[in-house]
């Protein structure tokens, strides 16, 4: 996930600087006026890589907001323990940095590996897994008795190239090759972390950014769809994830299986039928991850509430999987135009705090159906939004500032 949006581009994990979800960004960052036409209009084409446009908004944007004072001994996780777990996306570096680690252990009780568990990171070459950072994070979670969210088994943006190498779209042998590789990956990863993971993002971002079609196909970068020629891989991923848990512990349903996406407010009427079809074929789908890369002013709470009610009515659980609050609108008229950097003033900090407060009030309203809320990063010095869609511009989207101090937003979500 982000600018306008609910979940825009990606939260990259910052280890890779290549553009991730610029497509999504565009679609996601649209103004509310553009949202209306997105129901049936094609998604805008990406302009996020325009060097001139990027340079226009490349100033830094310093923080002049003082830190907030939290009540002595305050813990976000403990404050929300009767509602849901509150998690955070982390890297090995986060966990090795004392001030960041202290924030994590004080305020959060769930972890997600920001980048380290994605297939391309775990298995950069065929028949070789690199478990270093992935195991480090899992062991930290075990040591601190924190459940983890598994992120992510199937994602078109970070599947290793060798999975598709020399394969032709639609070729029956190619389809069988990808099936074999995907199932082997799922069968390898799920049991390794079954003791610490209580839910997986089984499939990430399979729905098109183009409102006139349902699935992200080869033209939008999905080699899975390209090879299969259909969405069959979505069903198979859920089926094999379910079977992997059964093989690890017969009768087990402890590992919940989620579909995860950004801009769910724009995609929900396509997401639900897709997941219903997976269920009808006999595979288990437990819930929908709403990434929640939102902007200060979009989506509105009413739109988010309506979307949640649709998910609940369809019989799915909800998790808030990648929350941050973007300060900038780089798509004021539906086309990319980098917003100039602004200082993070006390006034802007309070505006952001108000936004966080209304979001967490919404989460509490639906707490019976929300299993977890995860922030996409610990503090503002490590956020994908400092790099996408505009490099070199501070965004300040999280609850703790560049110096690892609590912001007004952190105080606001504790004040109820």
Which positions are annotated as active-site residues?
205, 322
- Helix, strand, coil percentages (3-state) for the chain, rounded to 5, are 40, 15, 45
DSSP state of 344: B
The candidate with the shortest Cα–Cα distance to 321, out of 357, 287, 361, is 287
- All residues at 6 or more sequence positions from 327 whose CB lies less than 8 Å from its CB, including other chains: 296, 342, 344, 348, 352, 395, 396, 397
Residue 334 zone, left/alpha/beta (φ > 0; ψ -120 to 50; rest): left
Q: What are phi and psi of 3, to 5 degrees?
A: -60, -60
Rounded Cα distance between 32 and 243, Å, is 42
Identify any residues that bridge with 370 across adjacent strands, giving them in sequence order.
Answer: 318
Rounded Cα distance between 296 and 342, Å, is 14
Residues recorded for the chain: 416
Helix spans in 193-285 (H): 223-228, 232-248, 264-280
> Can the peptide bond before residue 152 be classed as cis, meaning omega within 30 degrees of 0?
yes
Identify the three-state secondary structure at position 33. helix
How many other C-beta atoms are found inside a 10 Å radius of the C-beta of residue 135?
15
Rounded Cα distance between 288 and 273, Å, is 12
Rounded Cα distance between 77 and 96, Å, is 21
381 in Cβ contact with 400 (< 8 Å): no
Tell me the C-alpha to C-alpha distance, in Å, between residue 168 and each of 39, 176, 185, 216, 229.
33, 12, 21, 18, 11
């Amino acid at each position: 996930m982000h600018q306008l949006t609910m979940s825009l581009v990606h939260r990259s994990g910052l280890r890779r600087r290549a553009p991730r979800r610029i497509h999504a960004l565009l679609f996601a960052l649209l103004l509310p006026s553009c949202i209306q036409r997105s129901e049936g209009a094609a998604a805008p084409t990406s302009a996020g890589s325009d060097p001139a446009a990027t340079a226009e908004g490349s100033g830094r944007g310093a923080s002049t907001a003082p830190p907030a004072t939290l009540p002595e001994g305050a813990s976000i996780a403990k404050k929300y323990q009767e509602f849901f777990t509150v998690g955070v996306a982390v890297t090995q570096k986060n966990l090795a940095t004392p001030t960041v680690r202290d924030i994590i252990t004080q305020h959060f009780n769930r972890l997600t590996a920001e980048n380290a568990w994605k297939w391309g990171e775990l298995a950069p070459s065929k028949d070789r897994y690199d478990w270093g950072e992935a195991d480090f994070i899992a062991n930290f979670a075990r040591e601190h008795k924190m459940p983890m969210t598994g992120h992510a088994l199937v994602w078109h943006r970070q599947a290793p190239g060798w999975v598709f190498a020399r394969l032709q779209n639609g070729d029956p042998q190619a389809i069988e090759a990808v099936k074999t590789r995907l199932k082997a990956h799922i069968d390898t990863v799920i049991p390794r972390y079954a003791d610490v993971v209580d839910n997986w993002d089984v499939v990430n971002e399979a729905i098109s950014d183009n409102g006139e079609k349902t699935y992200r196909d080869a033209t939008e970068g999905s080699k899975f769809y390209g090879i299969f020629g259909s969405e069959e891989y979505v069903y198979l991923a859920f089926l094999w994830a379910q079977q992997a848990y059964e093989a690890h512990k017969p009768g087990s349903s402890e590992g919940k299986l989620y579909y995860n996406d950004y801009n769910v407010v724009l995609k929900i009427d396509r997401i639900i039928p897709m997941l219903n079809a997976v269920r009808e074929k006999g595979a288990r789908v437990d819930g929908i991850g709403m990434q929640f890369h939102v902007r200060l002013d979009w989506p509105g709470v009413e739109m988010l509430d309506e979307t949640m009610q649709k998910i609940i009515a369809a019989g799915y659980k909800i998790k808030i999987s990648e929350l941050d609050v973007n300060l900038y609108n780089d798509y004021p008229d539906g086309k990319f135009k980098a917003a100039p950097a602004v200082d993070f003033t006390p006034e802007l900090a309070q505006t952001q705090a108000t936004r966080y407060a209304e979001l967490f009030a919404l989460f509490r309203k639906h707490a019976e159906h929300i299993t977890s809320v995860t922030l996409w990063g610990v503090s503002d010095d490590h956020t994908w939004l400092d790099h996408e869609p505009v490099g070199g511009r501070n965004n300040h989207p999280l609850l703790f500032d560049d110096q690892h101090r609590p912001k007004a937003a952190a105080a606001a979500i504790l004040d109820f």
